[in-house]
Amino acid sequence: MCAELAAFCGAVSVRKTKLLGVQEIFMENKKIEVSICTGTACFVMGASEIMLIEDELPDDLKDKVEIKGVTCLEKCKNSSCGKAPFVVVDGKVVQQATMATVMEAIRTALNA
């Protein structure tokens, strides 16, 4: 993305400082994607409670996180992935997820 922006800005003669400003705006508006597995095993093991995390998010995080339920993440079929419930936060799998571990993963992803 940054290379594409740099190429575009070079083609239209935009200063580097403006490019950095656009990049900062993009990063500020970035939303963390949280995918909660709602397959049977995950749902029974606690994903049903984790689906309520949107209600528990502090106000300062609500506009920075996109929460969605997914039919199955296919993680429980591979024992090396750990145990249900599974949640993916910004591309990283959280196994044996709880409301607290998902919240921690969200904060970690936002600070990265």
Residues of the chain with pLDDT under 70: 1-29, 112
Q: What is the pLDDT of residues 57-85, one digit of tens each?
A: 999 888 999 999 999 888 877 777 788 99
What domain count does the chain have? 2
Predicted pLDDT at 22: 52
**Same-domain pairing of 50 and 17:** no
What is the predicted pLDDT for the residue at 7? 58
Instruction: Determine the structural domain holding residue 62 and report its residue range.
Output: 31-111
10 and 46 share a domain? no
Q: What is the 3-state secondary structure (H, E, C) of the chain?
A: CHHHHHHHHHHCCCCHHHHHHHHHHHHHCCCEEEEEECCHHHHHHHHHHHCCHHHHCCHHHHCCEEEEEECCCCCCCCHHHCCCCCEEECCEEECCCCHHHHHHHHHHHHHC
**Predicted pLDDT of residue 51:** 95
- Residue 77: the pLDDT is 77
**Peptide bond before 85: cis, by omega within 30 degrees of 0?**
yes
pLDDT of residue 101: 97
The pLDDT, as a whole number, for residue 74 is 84
Q: Is the dihedral of CA 74, 76, 80, 83 positive or negative?
A: positive
Query: Based on the domain organization, do 14 and 42 belong to the same domain?
Result: no
Q: Are strands 32-37 and 92-94 parallel, antiparallel or unpaired?
A: unpaired
Q: Which residue has the tokens 């940054």?
A: 2
Task: Copy the structure tokens of residue 20.
Answer: 């950095």
Give the per-residue pLDDT at 38.
Answer: 94
